[in-house]
A and B are shown apart, each in its own frame.
Chain A
Amino acid sequence: NAGVTQTPKFQVLKTGQSMTLQCAQDMNHNSMYWYRQDPGMGLRLIYYSASEGTTDKGEVPNGYNVSRLNKREFSLRLESAAPSQTSVYFCASSETKTLQETQYFGPGTRLLVL
């Protein structure tokens, strides 16, 4: 059982380039999330999808877009990368969007924007 998978594991971009981070889960979860992790700041929510067909902004959505392609997949797109988007990105999923649900995390994508 793979759980939550993310691709790529590592990426280097130049300022202004675009890319899409992919995330997939095989646990039949309804809700999915994208976080970024920066030193000393814990994880901050970028976007989330409470259920298939819905997406909402989190704490730090500027510069990002998301697509909930189907129940399994939730992608994060950087249209014009900036050095401030250098970070580690984590995708997570949970069975539902309720408060008590455990979120399961992928291994992360390390992004460096030059």
Chain B
Amino acid sequence: AQSVTQLDSHVSVSEGTPVLLRCNYSSSYSPSLFWYVQHPNKGLQLLLKYTSAATLVKGINGFEAEFKKSETSFHLTKPSAHMSDAAEYFCVVSDLSSSNTGKLIFGQGTTLQVKP
């Protein structure tokens, strides 16, 4: 069965410093992986997705993630944090056990705090 683990429930960085949000997945198949962002009292917005093309995926707002099969990781990074990046981030994997139903499995979320 597929699963996803976000290794940090809370990350705090200073504005202008790099961001690293860690995600490990478990899958018997080649997964599709996503990062979504949720700003306070808002819905979820797709940041980026990996679908077996290039292993380094670039997303919106300067975020990128690298798919590392050997490490079963899909960490999200950004070179320089901005105050507007403060939000909750979800690592997500497609549920391949469900015969192409498109069901998503969400990690528990990582809250990113950006200090001035």
Contact = CB atoms under 8 A, between A and B. Distances in A.
Interface size classification for chain B: 20 to 34
| Best-buried of B32, B49, B102, B103 by chain A (most CB within 10 Å) | B102
**What DSSP secondary structure best describes chain B's contact surface?**
loop
A100 interface: yes
B43 interface: yes
B67 interface: no
**What DSSP secondary structure best describes chain A's contact surface?**
loop
B108 A42 contact: yes
B9 interface: yes
Interface string B42-53: 111110010100
B40 to A, nearest CB: 11
A44 B106 contact: yes
A70 to B, nearest CB: 20
Interface of A: 4, 31, 33, 40-45, 48, 50, 56, 58, 90, 92, 94, 96-108
Interface of B: 9, 32, 34, 36, 41-46, 49, 51, 90, 94, 96, 100-104, 106-109
Given A41-B108, A42-B90, A100-B94, 12 more contacts: A4-B43, A33-B102, A42-B106, A43-B106, A44-B106, A90-B44, A98-B100, A99-B94, A100-B32, A105-B44, A105-B45, A107-B42
